[in-house]
C-alpha cells in the first residue's frame, strides 16, 4: 500500500490491537486496516477450485450415479455384520479373498443391477474429518441401532454428525431375531429426540432387520435406493475426473497407496492428478477385491498407485491433462499451507468471540457440552440456550455424558464449535488433537462460572483474570494403606511435573472425583519439592483417601492473566 509502518500500527491500535511491525494479522483485521486507507483486499485461496475452471455439464451428458452410503452406530450394534451380509448377499462377483478391509469404501451391485457405494468408516472419525475439510462425500447415512439395547451415546453422536452434515438418515433397527428385542422401545427413544420414524407418522425411514439371518435387509436397501431416487443423483462420466480421498497409506512394496472415491468424470490409468499438496500419475488402479481396473466412473471407489506423497482423508482430487500444471499447483499449495500455518488461530475460542462481535460478523455460537452426569449436562444445555439473543444464536450441536473424546474434537473442528467440559477431562489423544486443530476446550466444575464466562464472551467483555494451567499428569500405579496415616499413592509422572504446592484433581475414567491439595510429596524417603516426567514418587492427598490404581492425578496452577485491551 506504500504507507509507513507507524500509520498501520496506529490504525491497529485504534482497533484495540497491540501489534509489532513484524506481526502477521488475520484476514478480518487486514480487511479493516486496508479499508482505513481506502484499499480493498483480495485473498489468495489455497483451494484449486478457483484455479480449475470447471466446465458446466451438458444435461444430456449427465447419467445416474450410485448413492454413497455411510453406515454408523454404536459399538457392537451390528454395523460390520450388516455390511458383511450385504456384501455376501449382493456382490455378484465371487468372494475370492473378500474385501481388503483397509480400502474403507466399496461398491455393491444389487440383483436388480443397481449399485450402491458403501463408505466403511471405522467409527465416524473419517466421516467428520472429511466434513471438516469441506468434502461432502456421503449422500445417505444408515444408523444401526440394536433392538435389544437402548439408544447409546455413540448412536446420539452419530445422529449429531449426520444432522450437522445435512444428509438423509435411514435407521436400521438390528438384532430383531433376539428374544429380548423391542424395536418399539427404540422408536420411542428416537421420538423423544424429535426423530419420528414413518411407522410413528414421521418422515424418517426405518427398517427392522436382522444382519444375522438377513431378514429385512433387502427392504432396507430398497429404502436407501428410494432416498437416493429423491435426491436425483447424477454425474457426468465424460469429463476429467474429480472426487475425494478416503484414505492414504505407505505400503512397503508399492509406495503410497491412495484410496479415492470418484464423484464425477472417469479416472483412467495414466492420468495426472492432484490431491491436496500431493500430485502424481496414476500408475495402477485396484478395486476393493484387489483386481486391476483400467477406468473408474462416478461413485466408484478405487486404490491408486503413483502419488508422490500421502494426501489427507477428505482432500478433493482433480485430474489434469498436463503433469506440469498439476505439479505447479501442488507447489503453490505447499507454500500457501506453510504460510497459513504461520497465521493466527484457525478456530474460534471463547476469548475471540468478543472481538468478533465488535467487528459485527458474528451470528452463531456452536457449543458441544460434555459432563459427568446427565443432570448437569441438561442443566448446562438449558442455561446456555437461554443465553441466545436476537443477534447471537447459541446452538448446542452435541451433548453427552463422559470424557471428551477425539470424536468431540473433530465435530468441534468441523462445525467451528467450543467444547465445554463439566467435571470431565479430555482423553490424552483428544487433548493432542485439540492442540493440533486449535480447538478451545473449557473445563468447569462450577455451573455458574461456565454460564458467566459464556455470557461475558457474548457481551464481548471476556478477559479472564485467573487461568488454570495444567502443569503435569501423574498416574497411580500402586496404593499403600498405612494405619493412622491413610492411603499413600505410589505414582509415576507421565507428563510435565508435579510440585509440592500444586493444586490437584483426581480423575477416574475421564471424570473428576476430587479437587484438593497434596499433604506430602516424596521421592523414596525424602520430601521432594517437585518431581518431573519419567520419575516415580509417593503422594498423599490432603483429607482424601478414595484412590485406586489407574487413577490420574492432574496437577495445575492458577495463573493471573492481564486484561486485554478492548475497543
- C-alpha count within 13 angstroms, C-beta hemisphere, residue 394: 21
> How confident is the prediction for the chain on average, in pLDDT?
80
Residue 479 vs residue 310, higher pLDDT: 479
Strands of 441-444's sheet, edge to edge?
A: 393-401, 364-371, 417-422, 441-444
H or E element in which residue 69 lies: strand 68-73
For residues 270-282, average pLDDT:
87
pLDDT of residue 451: 86
How many residues in the chain? 567
Cβ 197 vs Cβ 151: under 8 Å? no
Q: Return the pLDDT at 360.
A: 59
What's domain 350-462's superfamily in CATH? Answer: Translation initiation factor IF- 2, domain 3 (3.40.50.10050)
- β-pairing, 68-73 vs 115-119, is parallel
Q: Is residue 254's pLDDT more than 90?
A: no
Query: What fold is seen in the domain 242-341?
Result: Elongation Factor Tu (Ef-tu); domain 3 (2.40.30)
| The pLDDT value given to residue 101 | 39
Per cent of the chain over pLDDT 70 is 84
Confidence class of residue 136 from pLDDT cuts 50, 70 and 90? low
User: Could you tell me the pLDDT band of residue 89, with boundaries at 50, 70 and 90?
Assistant: low
Q: 82 pLDDT exceeds 50? A: yes
- Do the first three CATH levels of 242-341 and 468-560 match, i.e. the same topology? yes
Tens-place pLDDT, residues 195-247: 888 888 888 888 888 877 888 888 888 888 888 888 888 888 888 888 888 77
Give the pLDDT of residue 100: 36
Segment 277-306, tens digit of pLDDT: 888 898 989 887 778 888 888 888 888 998
The grid coordinates listed for 51 are: 484455479
Residues 6+ apart with CB under 8 A from 203: 196
Q: Cα(116)–Cα(300) distance, rounded to whole angstroms?
A: 9
CA–chain centroid gap for 502, Å, is 33
Q: Measured between alpha carbons, how far is 274 from 320 in angstroms, rounded to an integer?
A: 8
In angstroms and rounded to an integer, the radius of gyration of the C-alpha atoms of the chain is 27
CA distances from 214 to 95, 175, 176, 219 (A): 18, 10, 11, 10
DSSP string for 289-322? TS-B-SEE-TTEEEEEEEESS-PPTT-EEEEES-
Give the per-residue pLDDT at 395. 86
Whether the pLDDT of residue 565 is over 50: the answer is: no
- pLDDT at position 69: 86
What is the spatial distance between Cα 346 and Cα 348, in angstroms, rounded to a whole number? 7
At 536, is the pLDDT very low, low, confident or very high (cuts 50, 70, 90)? very high
Lowest mean pLDDT among 26-40, 311-325, 448-462: 448-462
Euclidean distance between CA atoms 312 and 249, whole angstroms: 10
Distance between CA atoms of residues 243 and 231, nearest Å: 19
Reported pTM: 0.55
Instruction: Assign residue 543 a region (left: φ > 0; alpha: ψ between -120 and 50; beta: otherwise).
Output: left
What is the spatial distance between Cα 65 and Cα 411, in angstroms, rounded to a whole number? 29
Would you call 511 helix, strand, or coil by DSSP?
Answer: strand
| pLDDT tens digits, one per residue of 484-520 | 888 999 999 999 999 998 899 999 988 889 999 999 9
Q: Decide: 171 and 197 in contact? Cβ < 8 Å.
A: yes
Instruction: Give the CA distances from residue 383 to residues 357, 391, 450, 451, in Å, rounded to whole numbers and listed in that order.
Output: 21, 17, 10, 7
CATH 3.50.50.60 fits 68-232, yes or no: no
Q: How far apart, in whole angstroms, are the C-alpha atoms of residue 480 and residue 184?
A: 51
Q: Give the mean pLDDT of 400-422.
A: 87
Beta pairing, strands 417-422 & 364-371 = parallel
Q: What are phi and psi of 198, to 5 degrees?
A: -60, -35
With a cut of 70, say whether residue 426 has pLDDT above it. Answer: yes
d(CA 289, CA 268): 18
Topology (CATH level 3) of domain 468-560: Elongation Factor Tu (Ef-tu); domain 3 (2.40.30)
SS3 356: helix
Q: Which pLDDT band, with edges at 50, 70 and 90, does 96 fall under?
A: very low
Pairing of strands 169-174, 205-208: parallel
DSSP state of 65: -
In three-state secondary structure terms, 196 is coil
Q: Where are the beta strands (DSSP E) in 188-287?
A: 205-208, 234-235, 242-251, 255-264, 267-268, 272-275, 278-286
Rounded distance between C-alpha atoms, residue 265 and residue 296, angstroms:
9
Residue 492 has a pLDDT of: 94
Q: Which residue is associated with the grid cell 429404502?
A: 223
Strands (E), 347-485: 364-371, 393-401, 417-422, 441-444, 466-482
Query: Is 70 exceeded by the pLDDT of residue 425?
Result: yes
Res. 102: pLDDT tops 70 = no
pLDDT at residue 93 is higher than 50: no
Judge whether residue 145 has pLDDT over 80: yes
At 420 the pLDDT is: 92
C-alpha cell at position 481: 494403606
Q: What is the mean pLDDT of residues 28-39?
A: 86
CA 88 to mean position of chain CA atoms: 32
Closest CA relative to residue 132, chosen from 411, 407, 368, 362? 411
Supply the pLDDT for residue 479: 92
CB 536 within 8 A of CB 485: no
Question: Burial letters for 338-360: b for 16+ Cβ neighbours within 10 Å, e otherwise?
Answer: eeeeeeeeeebebbbbbbbbeee
pLDDT value at 178 more than 80: yes
Averaged pLDDT, 382-411: 84
pLDDT one-digit tens code per residue, 329-381: 888 888 777 666 555 445 666 666 666 666 555 567 889 999 887 777 888 88
pLDDT for residue 168: 87
Which helix (DSSP H) or strand (DSSP E) does residue 12 occupy? Answer: helix 5-14
pLDDT confidence of residue 362 = 59
Q: Is the dihedral of CA 47, 52, 53, 55 positive or negative?
A: negative
pLDDT at 490: 94
Instruction: Look up cell 491436496; give the residue.
Output: 276
- Which residue's C-alpha cell is 437416493? 228
Q: H-helix or E-strand containing 226?
A: helix 217-231
Residue 537's pLDDT band, with cuts at 50, 70 and 90, is: very high
Check residue 419 and give its pLDDT: 92
Helices (H) and strands (E) in the chain, counts: 13, 28
* Torsion angles phi and psi, residue 487, rounded to 5: -90, 130
User: Where do the domains of the chain lie?
Assistant: 5-36, 68-232, 242-341, 350-462, 468-560
Amino acid at each position: 500500500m506504500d504507507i509507513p509502518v507507524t500509520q498501520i500500527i496506529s490504525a491497529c491500535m485504534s482497533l484495540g490491537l497491540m501489534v509489532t511491525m513484524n506481526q502477521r494479522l488475520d484476514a478480518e483485521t487486514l480487511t479493516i486496516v486496508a479499508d482505513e486507507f481506502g484499499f480493498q483486499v483480495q485473498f489468495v485461496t489455497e483451494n484449486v477450485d478457483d484455479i480449475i475452471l470447471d466446465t458446466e455439464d451438458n444435461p444430456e451428458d449427465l447419467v445416474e450415479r450410485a448413492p454413497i452410503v455411510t453406515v454408523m452406530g454404536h459399538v457392537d450394534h451390528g454395523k460390520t455384520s450388516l455390511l458383511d451380509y450385504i456384501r455376501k448377499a449382493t456382490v455378484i462377483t465371487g468372494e475370492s479373498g473378500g474385501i481388503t478391509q483397509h480400502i474403507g469404501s466399496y461398491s455393491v451391485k444389487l440383483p436388480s443391477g443397481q449399485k450402491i457405494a458403501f463408505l466403511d468408516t471405522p467409527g465416524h472419525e473419517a466421516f467428520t474429518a472429511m466434513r471438516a475439510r469441506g468434502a461432502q462425500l456421503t449422500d445417505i447415512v444408515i444408523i444401526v441401532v440394536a433392538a435389544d439395547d437402548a439408544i447409546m451415546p455413540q448412536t446420539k453422536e452419530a445422529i449429531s454428525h449426520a444432522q450437522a452434515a445435512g444428509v438423509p438418515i435411514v435407521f436400521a433397527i438390528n438384532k430383531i431375531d433376539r428374544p429380548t428385542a423391542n424395536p418399539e422401545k427404540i422408536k420411542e427413544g428416537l421420538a423423544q429426540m424429535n426423530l419420528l420414524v414413518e411407522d410413528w407418522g414421521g418422515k424418517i425411514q426405518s427398517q427392522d432387520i436382522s444382519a444375522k439371518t438377513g431378514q429385512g435387509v433387502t427392504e432396507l436397501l430398497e429404502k436407501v435406493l428410494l432416498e437416493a431416487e429423491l435426491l436425483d443423483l447424477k454425474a457426468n462420466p465424460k469429463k476429467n475426473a474429480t472426487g475425494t480421498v478416503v484414505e492414504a497409506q505407505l505400503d512397503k512394496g508399492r509406495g503410497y497407496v491412495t484410496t479415492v472415491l470418484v464423484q464425477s468424470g472417469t479416472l483412467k490409468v495414466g492420468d495426472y492428478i492432484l490431491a491436496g499438496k500431493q500430485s502424481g500419475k496414476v500408475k495402477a488402479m485396484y478395486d476393493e477385491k484387489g483386481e486391476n481396473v483400467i477406468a473408474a466412473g462416478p461413485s466408484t471407489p478405487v486404490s491408486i498407485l503413483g502419488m508422490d506423497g500421502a494426501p489427507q482423508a477428505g482432500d478433493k482430487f482433480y485430474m489434469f491433462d498436463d503433469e506440469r500444471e498439476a505439479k505447479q499447483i501442488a507447489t503453490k499449495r505447499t507454500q500457501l499451507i506453510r504460510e497459513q500455518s504461520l497465521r493466527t488461530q484457525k478456530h474460534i475460542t471463547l476469548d475471540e468471540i468478543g472481538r468478533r462481535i465488535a467487528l459485527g460478523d458474528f451470528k452463531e455460537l456452536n457449543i458441544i457440552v460434555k459432563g459427568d452426569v446427565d443432570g448437569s449436562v441438561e442443566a448446562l444445555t438449558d442455561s446456555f440456550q437461554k443465553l441466545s439473543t436476537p443477534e447471537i444464536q447459541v446452538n448446542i450441536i452435541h451433548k453427552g455424558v463422559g470424557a471428551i473424546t477425539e470424536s468431540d474434537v473433530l465435530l468441534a473442528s468441523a462445525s467451528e464449535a467450543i467444547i465445554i467440559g463439566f467435571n470431565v477431562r479430555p482423553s490424552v489423544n483428544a487433548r493432542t488433537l485439540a492442540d493440533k486443530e486449535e480447538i478451545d476446550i473449557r473445563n468447569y466444575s462450577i455451573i455458574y462460572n461456565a454460564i458467566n464466562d459464556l455470557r461475558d464472551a457474548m457481551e464481548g467483555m471476556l478477559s479472564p483474570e485467573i487461568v488454570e494451567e495444567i502443569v503435569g499428569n501423574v498416574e497411580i500405579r500402586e496404593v499403600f494403606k498405612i494405619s493412622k496415616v491413610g492411603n499413600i499413592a505410589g505414582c509415576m509422572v507421565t507428563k510435565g511435573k508435579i510440585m509440592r504446592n500444586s493444586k490437584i484433581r483426581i480423575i477416574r475414567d475421564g471424570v473428576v472425583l476430587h479437587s484438593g491439595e497434596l499433604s506430602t510429596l516424596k521421592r523414596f524417603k525424602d520430601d521432594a519439592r517437585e518431581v518431573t516426567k519419567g520419575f516415580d514418587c509417593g503422594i498423599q492427598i490432603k483429607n482424601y483417601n478414595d484412590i485406586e490404581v489407574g487413577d490420574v492425578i492432574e496437577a495445575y496452577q492458577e495463573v493471573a492473566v492481564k486484561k486485554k485491551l478492548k475497543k
